[in-house]
Amino acid sequence: MATLILEDGSRYAGTLFGRKAEVTGEVVFTTGMTGYQETLTDPSYCGQIVCMTYPLIGNVGINAIDSESVGVYMKGFVVSELCDTPSNWKCEKTLDRYLDEQGVTGLCGVDTRALTRHVRVYGMLRGRIVAGEPTEADVEAARAFVLHDQVARCTCKAPYDLPAGGEGGALRIAVMDFGLKRGILRSLQARGCALRVYPADTPARDILADGCDGVMLTNGPGNPEDNPKSIETIRALMDERPVFGICLGHQLMALAMGGHTVKMKYGHHGANHPVKDLARGTCSVTAQNHCFMVDPQRLPAGAQVSHVNWNDQTVEGVRYTDRPAFSVQFHPEACGGPRETAYLFDDFLDMVKKEGARHA
C-alpha cells in the first residue's frame, strides 16, 4: 500500500510502481485519452505529479519513437489502472520498467476521478507520494515544496542544428528551447526550415549574429516570471525578427512586451480543449499543458487577442499589431492530440517570408 497525501491532508491510496521512491511535487490532472508517452515526456510537467483521468494507462507500452524529449521530467505519475501486459507492434518495454529507468515514481489503483474533482474544486495542490501511511512530516514536506527555474532543468545545454525537410528553399529559424517538444521541431522541418536550437539563456546578440529569418519560442515548464534573462532576449528579438511563441513562449512574449501573467486555478492539461480563432471564425480542439496564462486585463500595448478558450474564455492567442509577431497558448504541433491548428506554422512562415521580401 502507498498513499498520495495532499497539503490539505487529503489522502488517496494506491500501489507503487516504477521507481517506488517517495516524491513531492505539484499535483495536476490531464484529460488526454491517448498519448500517455507524449505526456510523460513533455518537459512542461517538470516538477509535477501528474494524474491521468483516462482510466487505463500502459496498454501500448513504451517505444523509442513517440517520446517528445530525452526523458521524463515530472516527479510522479498517478493512474487508475496500470496495464502490465501491453500489446502494440511498436512496444519495447512496459510503462513500469520505463518509469523505473527514468527514476519516476508511479502510483496505480488510485481513485483518479475523486482526485481530479478535488483539484478542480480546490485548485492545484502540492502533494507527496509515500509508501504506507503518511505522517505529519509528509504533509509538512508537501506544504513546503517549492520549485523554481524549471526551464534551466529542461533546456538544451548548447546550440545544435537540424536540417530542413520537405521541399523548397530553406528558411533559417532560430528556436529558443524552454523545454521544447520535438513535435515543434518536426513541424518546422517538414515545412522546409533549417533550425538552430538555442539554450534558454542565450543572449539575443548571439542568436542574431548567427543569422536567422525568424524566431520560434517553444513551450516549457514553470512560472514565466522566473525567466528574466529570456524575457530580455525576447524583447530584443521581437525588435529585429518575426517571432512565433507557443505555450510558455506565448507567456514570455507578453511579459517581454509589458503585459502580465497570472497563475490559473488548475490550468489546462489535455488534448480536448476547444479554442476559437477569432479572425477565421473557426473553433478547433487543441492540446494544452500550462498552469499560467496571459492576463486579459493587462495586455501589452499593441496586443490583440486572436484566440479564446471556448470553455472558460481565457486568452489563447495574441497578435501584435505593431510588429510581425504572434503567439498561442495551445500546442499546434499536438503530439499527442489533434492537429487542427497546424495551420499556425504556415501563418508563421508566411509572415517570415513577407518580412524577408520587405527588407530584401
In this prediction, what percent of the chain has a pLDDT beyond 90?
Answer: 94
Please give the pLDDT value at position 324. 98
pLDDT exceeds cutoff 70 at 318: yes
Pair 325, 343 in one domain:
yes
Cα three-residue angle 330-265-233, rounded to 5 degrees: 50
Q: What is the pLDDT of residues 321-332, one digit of tens each?
A: 999 999 999 999
Q: H or E stretch including 318?
A: strand 315-320
- Amino acid making up residue 15: T
Per-residue CA distances from 182 to 66, 162, 207, 300 (Å): 10, 11, 20, 30
Look up the CATH number of the domain holding residue 346. Answer: 3.40.50.880
Cα three-residue angle 28-31-33, rounded to 5 degrees: 140
How far apart CA 76 and CA 66 sit, in angstroms, is 20
Range of the domain at 170: 151-359
Whether omega for the bond prior to residue 356 falls within 30 degrees of 0, making it cis, is no
Pair 338, 195 in one domain:
yes
How far apart CA 184 and CA 110 sit, in angstroms, is 33
Look at 24-28, 158-162, 307-311, 333-337 and tell me which has the smallest mean pLDDT: 333-337
Pair 122, 193 in one domain:
no
Look up the CATH number of the domain holding residue 8. Answer: 3.50.30.20
pLDDT-derived band at 169, boundaries 50, 70, 90: low
Please give the pLDDT value at position 167. 63
Q: Which three cell numbers stand for residue 303?
A: 496586443
- Overall average pLDDT of the 33-59 stretch: 97
Pair 75, 131 in one domain:
yes
Per-residue CA distances from 4 to 35, 67, 75 (Å): 24, 27, 12
Q: What is the pLDDT of residues 61-92, one digit of tens each?
A: 999 999 999 999 999 999 999 999 999 999 99
In this prediction, what percent of the chain has a pLDDT beyond 70?
Answer: 98
Pair 185, 329 in one domain:
yes
The residue among 147, 168, 192 that closes a domain is 147
- Overall average pLDDT of the 221-235 stretch: 97
Q: What is the pLDDT of residues 256-286, one digit of tens each?
A: 999 999 999 999 999 999 999 999 999 999 9
The residue among 147, 166, 185 that closes a domain is 147
Number of domains in the chain: 2
- In whole numbers, what is the pLDDT of the chain averaged over residues? 96
Please give the pLDDT value at position 356. 79
Pair 44, 26 in one domain:
yes
Q: Which residue has the higher pLDDT, 360 or 50?
A: 50
- Overall average pLDDT of the 197-209 stretch: 98
The residue among 121, 147, 173 that closes a domain is 147
Pair 227, 200 in one domain:
yes
Task: Provide the annotated active-site residues.
Answer: 247, 331, 333
Pair 41, 130 in one domain:
yes
pLDDT exceeds cutoff 90 at 352: yes
Longest pairwise C-alpha distance within the chain = 68
Per-residue CA distances from 154 to 116, 126, 177, 302 (Å): 27, 21, 8, 31
Pair 138, 180 in one domain:
no
Pair 33, 112 in one domain:
yes
Pair 130, 237 in one domain:
no
Q: What is the pLDDT of residues 108-125, one digit of tens each?
A: 999 999 999 999 999 999
Please give the pLDDT value at position 336. 87
Please give the pLDDT value at position 165. 85
Pair 125, 248 in one domain:
no
Phi and psi, residue 346, nearest 5°: -65, -40
Axis-axis angle for helices 228-238, 248-256 (nearest 10): 70
Alpha helices of the chain — where are they, by DSSP H?
36-40, 95-102, 112-122, 136-144, 150-154, 182-189, 204-210, 228-238, 248-256, 343-359
- Overall average pLDDT of the 145-159 stretch: 95
